[in-house]
Chains A and B, each alone.
Chain A
Amino acid sequence: MENQFSQERKGSEVIVVTSGKGGVGKTTTSANVGTGLAKLGRKVCLIDTDIGLRNLDVVMGLENRIVYNLVDVVEGSCRIKQALIRDKRHPGLYLMPSAQTRDKSAVTPGQMVKVIEHLKEQFDYIILDCPAGIEQGFQNAIAGANRALVVTTPEVSAIRDADRIIGLLEANGFKQIDLVINRLRMDMVRRGDMMSAQDVVDILAIPLIGIVPDDENVVIATNQGEPLVGSDSPAGQAYSNIVHRVEGKEVPYLNLDRGISFWTRVTGIFHKA
Chain B
Amino acid sequence: MRHFFRRRSSRQVAKDRLKILLISDRVNCSPEMMELIKNDIARVISKYMKIDSDNIEILINTRGNKSGRTVKPSLYANIPIVDVSVPELHTESGK
Seen from chain A, the residues whose Cβ lies within 8 Å of a Cβ on chain B are 155-156, 159-160, 163-164, 167, 170, 177, 189, 191-196, 199, 202-203, 205-207, 267, 270-271, 273
Contact = CB atoms under 8 A, between A and B. Distances in A.
Nearest to B12: A273
Interface stretch (B62-70, B77-85, B86-94): B62-70
Contacts of B64: 205
Contact of B22 (A194, A203, A273): A203
Given A163-B22, A203-B22, A156 B3 contact: no
Contact of B11 (A160, A167, A189, A270): A189
A155 B26 CA distance: 18
23 contacts: A155-B14, A156-B17, A160-B18, A160-B25, A170-B70, A177-B68, A189-B11, A193-B10, A194-B11, A195-B14, A195-B15, A203-B15, A203-B18, A203-B19, A203-B22, A205-B63, A205-B66, A205-B68, A206-B68, A271-B11, A273-B9, A273-B12, A273-B15
B63 A159 contact: no
Which secondary structure dominates chain B's binding surface?
helix
Contacts of A167: 26, 62
Interface residues of B, number: 24
B21 to A, nearest CB: 6
A215 B26 CA distance: 33
B4 interface: yes
A175 to B, nearest CB: 10
Contacts of A155: 14
B3 A205 contact: no
Nearest to B66: A205
Contacts of B17: 156
Interface of B: 3-4, 6, 9-12, 14-15, 17-19, 21-22, 25-26, 62-68, 70
A156 B14 contact: yes
A193 B14 CA distance: 9
Contacts of B11: 189, 192-196, 199, 271
A11 B72 CA distance: 32
A234 to B, nearest CB: 21
A83 B65 CA distance: 43
Contacts of A163: 22, 25-26
A270 B26 CA distance: 32
Nearest to A160: B21
A163 B63 CA distance: 10
Contacts of A192: 3, 6, 9-12
A159 B62 CA distance: 16
A156 B4 contact: no
B10 A156 contact: no
Contact of A156 (B12, B18, B65, B66): B18
